[in-house]
């Protein structure tokens, strides 16, 4: 887990167990705490490649189903036009991943200037 994302593990340990410096503990104890993290913890979600929790997935699936049922009862639904966009598919679109991070303020300013210049 440490190799996958140490920062996520640190956040999860702090949030769940109030462990702020796991390096001061025996590795076996840290491993026990890490295994005990919930499946929706940052590190476990990252390790399985999940973008959203199972709860969010199920809720969006339910909302999409209700929207589709309601749409089917409209004039547009009878004609098969203006179908509502699915929430679930928008959660898993590749474009929603476009997030930039910066190590320092200087890196941010360089990227900002590059965007302002149009490149």
The arithmetic mean of pLDDT across residues 89-94, rounded, is: 80
How many angstroms separate the CA atoms of 87 and 57, rounded?
9
8-54 confidence digits (pLDDT tens): 999 999 999 999 999 999 999 999 999 999 999 999 999 998 889 99
Helix (H) or strand (E) holding 30: helix 27-35
How many angstroms separate the CA atoms of 100 and 18, rounded?
29
How many angstroms separate the CA atoms of 41 and 33, rounded?
12
pLDDT band at 96 (very low <50, low <70, confident <90, very high): very low
Mean pLDDT for all residues in the chain: 90
For the full predicted model, state whether its pTM sits above 0.75: no
What is the per-residue burial (b if ≥16 Cβ within 10 Å, else e) of 39-51? eebbbbbbeeeee
Quote the pLDDT of residue 99: 67
The arithmetic mean of pLDDT across residues 104-110, rounded, is: 87
Q: Show me where the domains of the chain are located.
A: 2-48, 53-119
Can you read off the two tokens belonging to residue 70?
């309601």
């Amino acid at each position: 887990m440490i190799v996958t994302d140490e920062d996520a593990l640190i956040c999860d340990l702090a949030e769940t167990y109030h462990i702020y410096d796991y390096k001061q503990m025996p590795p076996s104890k840290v491993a026990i705490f890490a295994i005990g993290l919930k499946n929706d913890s940052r590190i476990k979600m990252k390790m399985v490649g999940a973008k959203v929790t199972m709860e969010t997935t199920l809720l969006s699936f339910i909302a999409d189903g209700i929207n589709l049922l309601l749409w089917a009862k409209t004039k547009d639904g009878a004609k098969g036009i203006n179908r509502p966009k699915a929430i679930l598919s928008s959660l898993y679109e590749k474009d929603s991943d476009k997030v930039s991070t910066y190590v320092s303020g200087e890196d941010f300013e360089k990227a900002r200037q590059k965007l302002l210049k149009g490149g």
